[in-house]
Every structure is written in C-alpha cells, then in structure tokens.
C-alpha cells in the first residue's frame, strides 16, 4: 500500500480556470465535476462552480481544487504576505506547494508556466543549497516553490 499527499486548493469561482492553467503548465488530464452535475439547478448561482476538480499528469504531478460555496469574496488575494530578513525574502503564508525535479532543464518550463501573471517572490536561479530555486505566487494567489533536488554529500 502507498499513500500520497495531494494538495487540495480552495477557490471562490476560479477553480476551473486555475485547474486549466495548471494543466497547461504540467500537462496531464483535467477532471471537473460541477455543482450542477450533482443536481443543482442551472439557474442557481454557483451551479457552474467546481465541486470536484483535479489535474493528474503522467509525470506524477497531481493537484485537486474546488470552489468553496458561499460569499463571493476571494480566498486568495494574489499578493503573498512576505517580509525581508537577513537579506532573504520570507513568506508568511501558511503553506505553499513545492515542485522539485532532477535538473534545471526539467523544472525551468514549469517555472516559466507558473510565472505567467505571477508575483515573483524569489527569482528562479542558482541557490546555495540547490542548482536552481525560485518562489512565486501564481495568478490565483497560490505560492509555489520550484527547485532542483541537490545531491546530498
């Protein structure tokens, strides 16, 4: 038996758009079920919102998302909460997603895709602890780290 932790992102009406964006970045298959698919009348506000959505890619990437029912206020602002400390930018978000690959060539296209419309927190490039590292908040306000696994001595 094996277990996998899969990030599950919450949105207010943007889940489909976010999932389509992540599929464009990571590839894979998009699966979306709306509240309407579960029987909510089409004329009810939110019937087209996502009750279950996921992107599953052959490379192992997987993310789930849905639209939280309720008021229309956005959950994420798109602007990460950060501070500078000892010359380093530190995010104060409660969580962020990490995509780690084995080479710069493997993860650079992921960075480029996520960076479209994003707020860059730490520019993607060489770091003391890894051949490449970068942090950004994507256009939906989700904070991502993209890096290359460093060989351990």
pTM over 0.85: no
Domain that holds residue 28: 8-67
- What average pLDDT does the segment 115-137 reach? 93
49-61 pLDDT, tens per residue? 999 999 999 999 9
Which CATH number is 86's domain given? 3.30.720.110
Instruction: Report the SS3 class of residue 151.
Output: coil
Please report the pLDDT score of residue 92 as a whole number: 52
67-91 pLDDT, tens per residue? 988 765 455 545 545 555 444 444 4
What share of the chain in percent tops pLDDT 90? 64
149 and 102 Cβ atoms separated by less than 8 Å: yes
52 and 41 Cβ atoms separated by less than 8 Å: no
* Same-domain pairing of 103 and 134: yes
């Amino acid at each position: 038996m094996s277990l996998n932790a899969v990030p599950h992102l919450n949105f207010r009406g943007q889940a489909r758009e976010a999932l389509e964006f992540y599929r464009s970045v990571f590839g894979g298959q998009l699966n979306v079920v709306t509240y309407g698919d579960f029987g909510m009348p089409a004329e009810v506000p939110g019937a087209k919102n996502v009750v279950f959505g996921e992107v599953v890619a052959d490379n192992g990437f997987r993310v789930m998302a849905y639209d939280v029912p309720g008021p229309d206020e956005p959950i994420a602002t798109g602007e990460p909460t950060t501070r500078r400390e000892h010359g380093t930018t530190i995010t104060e978000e409660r969580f962020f997603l990490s995509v780690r690959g084995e080479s710069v060539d493997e993860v650079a296209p992921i960075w480029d895709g996520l960076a479209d419309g994003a707020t860059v927190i730490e520019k993607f490039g060489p770091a003391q602890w890894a051949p490449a590292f970068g942090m950004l908040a994507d256009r939906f306000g989700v904070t991502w780290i993209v890096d290359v696994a460093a060989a351990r001595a």
